[in-house]
Amino acid sequence: YYQNLAETNVSCGIFFVGACYDKGIGVERDEHKAFIYYQKSAEMGYAKGTCNVGCCYDEGIGAFIYYQKSAEMGYANGMSLVAECYRNGIGITRDLHKAKYWYQR
C-alpha cells in the first residue's frame, strides 16, 4: 500500500516506505534506503519526514536544522527535539529560554 502511494509521489507514502525500511517491516532493514525516503518526503514538506531526517543525523548541527524545520511546520515531536537541543546545547548554543519556549509550544 505505502509503496503504491510512494510511486504516485504522495509524501506520506514515501515517508512510510522509509519507515518500513528503517524498521524492517515487510522488507529487509536498510537504513540508507530509509534515509533516502525520509529525505524525499522532507523535500516535499512532510513534517514527520523532516523530523526523521534530523533523527538520522542523530546529533549535531544537521539534526538541529531538520528538527527546527519540522517544529516550524507544527510537528510536536520536532518541537520537543528542538527544545532538547537548546536545553543540552546539541548542534546549537545552549539557551534555556529558547528551550522553555519550545517545550511550551
- The ranges assigned to domains in the chain are 1-44, 50-105
- In the chain, % helix, strand, coil (3-state, to 5) comes to 70, 0, 30
Q: What is the pTM of this model?
A: 0.71
Measuring CA to CA, which residue among 98, 70, 67, 100 is closest to residue 81?
Answer: 67
Contacts 24+ apart (CB under 8 A), 51-58: 51/75, 51/77, 51/78, 51/81, 52/15, 52/18, 52/19, 52/22, 54/78, 54/81, 55/81, 56/31
Residue-by-residue pLDDT tens, the chain, 105 positions: 778 777 888 899 999 999 999 999 999 998 889 999 999 999 999 999 999 998 888 756 678 888 999 999 999 999 999 999 999 998 888 999 999 999 998
DSSP letter (8 states) at residue 24: T
